Amino acid sequence: MRALGVLIALAPVAAHATPEFRDVVVHGAKRAPEGAPKKFTQISHLIYMNRCAAGCPVLAGNFEDAVTHHSSIPQQNATLAAYPYGDAAWNSLVQCVRDMYAPFDIQVTDQDPGTAARTELLVAGHAADIGVPGAGGVAPFVPCEGEEIDNTMTFVFALETNNADFLCWAAAQETSHVFGLDHELLATDPMTYLTPPVKKPGFQNMAANCGENTPRVCACGGQQQNSAQFLMDMFGPAHLDPATLTITSPADGAWVKPGFAVHATSMSQLSVKSSKLSIDGVAGDTGNDETEIVLVAPTVLAGGDHVVHVDATDSAARTYGSEVTVHVTATCDAATPCAQGKCLGGFCLPESDVTGGLGATCATGADCITGTCAVGGDATLCTAACDPGMTCPGGYTCVATSADAGVCWPAPESSGCATNSGAGALGVLASVGALLAFRRRRR
């Protein structure tokens, strides 16, 4: 047990109303001399987010020891009820807190670290359970440089609100209080009392006045703090595995029509914050925070080969990407015939010798350059709507699917049989047409 002395004086020194709630910090310590050399902290770099699945005992003490459940905050023993919002919301919350700390060499886990040193955050219970009614969260103190200790107990009272942004914001604020951060008057920083919740984009690399609603002296002296620089100086930069990105479609070397969709998957320990598509180095569509990225190429693209590049940027501001080369179908019309492939729908479509080409076998529309896969008889083939006048390019016949619409289907090869008249061929196609069933699936 380690006596904390003045650090655990329980008179609240920061308890201000916010639009939704307040948190509480108790602190009292001396600031290290200005200009003291910086070094990475000796305290644990681990934050344990405890959802208290079976309820959490909190034992009143005049010291902090998360391993034995002792907290300096409550006046009597308590039990906090479990985080109640389910696994999906919990996992999202843990990821949000990881993202908050992603730039720094701080690990966030929700797996019980046993007796290992950590800073513990209980996300559970009601504020009144440990004697701070009305609080959204509580941290025992704000230490000044060199006074940080391991195994402190911090709290976010999950039963007070189910607002995910708020819970993440409070989690970042309570844990970083015990690393030495004070409240600050910067609305985009998790240390603020201004207009919460503002979980994005994390701790801000910007000097800001300390305070809740008006400027005041910071807990450890001075008028301003820079939360991101503080954590970087204290813990050092993150050590992250490399992030990678895979373009799942189109495949390298695939044929596509202009306006094609690009699907990519980010593989990173961190959340994607943004993504962007470029074609031949020209910036295009952009995406938000989805790990499964879907972007769309321009609808006007010259026929020929193009380099498709997708970049993602994660919460540690790392940008990583991948690229494929695609063959874009050329445009065509009566005056501009195709140098290669069949002109249909204004594009020169490759045929069944190319994956996804006109008449190639398919399972879904996504397999086809045209986006349309149809089943007729025993065949399931890539097809496309007939041109005006129910016409198709040579080698294909328009099979009616309604009174004024149809799809182009490979014309039967001549059997050489003298009885296979033109009318007979059409009859066969008509029967095929009767069996046509469309699968116009697009991903």
Question: In the complex, which residues of this chain contact Zn ion (CB under 5 A)?
Answer: 23, 173
- Cα-based distances in Å from 127 to 70, 122, 137: 17, 12, 7
Minimum distance of Zn ion from residue 23's CB (angstroms): 4
Measured CA to CA, the distance from residue 233 to residue 227 in angstroms comes to: 10
- Our CB check for Zn ion shows the closer of 23 and 184 to be 23
**Residue among 98 and 177 whose Cβ is closer to Zn ion:** 177
Q: For Zn ion, which residue has the nearest CB? A: 23
DSSP states of 164-188:
HHHHHHHHHHHHHHTTT---BS-TT
Nearer to Zn ion, 102 or 142 (CB): 142
- The CA angle 128-131-132, to the nearest 5 degrees, is 75
Closest to Zn ion by CB, 160 vs 285, is 160
Number of H helices and E strands in the chain, helices first, is 4, 26
* Rounded distance between C-alpha atoms, residue 100 and residue 168, angstroms: 9
Minimal distance in Å, beta carbon 173 to Zn ion?
5
Closer to Zn ion by CB, 72 or 173: give it. Answer: 173
CB of 172 to Zn ion, least distance (A): 10
Nearer to Zn ion, 101 or 409 (CB): 101
- Long-range contacts of residues 306-309, Cβ cutoff 8 Å, at least 24 apart: 306/279, 306/280, 307/279, 307/280, 307/281, 308/247, 308/250, 308/262, 308/277, 308/278, 308/279, 309/277, 309/278, 309/279, 309/281
Give whichever of 202 and 433 is closer to Zn ion, judged by the CB atom.
Answer: 202
Shortest distance (Å) from residue 254 CB to Zn ion: 53
Residues 38, 98 contacting (CB under 8 angstroms)? no
Q: Is 248 exposed, middle or buried (0-12, 13-18, 19+ CB in 10 A)?
A: middle
14 vs 245, which CB is nearer to Zn ion?
Answer: 14
Please report where in the chains the tokens 């310590």 appear, as a residue: 29
| Shortest distance, position 170 Cβ to Zn ion, whole Å | 8
Question: Shortest gap between Cβ of 265 and Zn ion (angstroms)?
Answer: 37
Rounded CA-CA distance 108/131 in Å is: 27
* Minimal distance, residue 183 CB to Zn ion, in Å: 5
Nearer to Zn ion, 173 or 322 (CB): 173
Shortest approach of Zn ion to residue 315 CB, angstroms? 22
Tell me the three state secondary structure of residue 96.
Answer: helix
Binning the chain into helix, strand and coil, the percentages to the nearest 5 are: 15, 35, 50
Q: How far apart are CB 212 and Zn ion at their closest, in Å? A: 8
Three-class secondary structure of residue 86 per DSSP: helix
Kindly state the smallest distance separating residue 88's Cβ from Zn ion, in Å.
Answer: 27
Residue 7: HSE in the Cβ half-sphere, 13 Å Cα cutoff: 27
Return the number of the residue (15 or 128) whose C-beta is nearest Zn ion.
15
To Zn ion, the closest distance from the beta carbon of 14 in angstroms equals 6
- Between 107 and 173, CB nearer to Zn ion: 173
Q: Does residue 201 have a cis bond before it (omega within 30 degrees)? A: yes
Q: Angle CA(261)–CA(266)–CA(268) in degrees, nearest 5?
A: 170
* Distance in Å, CB of 313 to Zn ion, minimum: 29
| Distance from C-alpha of 210 to C-alpha of 234, rounded to nearest angstrom | 19
β partners of residue 307: 325
> Quick one: 25 or 407, whose CB is closer to Zn ion?
25
Q: Residue 290 and residue 312: Cα distance in Å, rounded?
A: 10
Q: Are 137 and 124 in contact (CB under 8 A)?
A: no
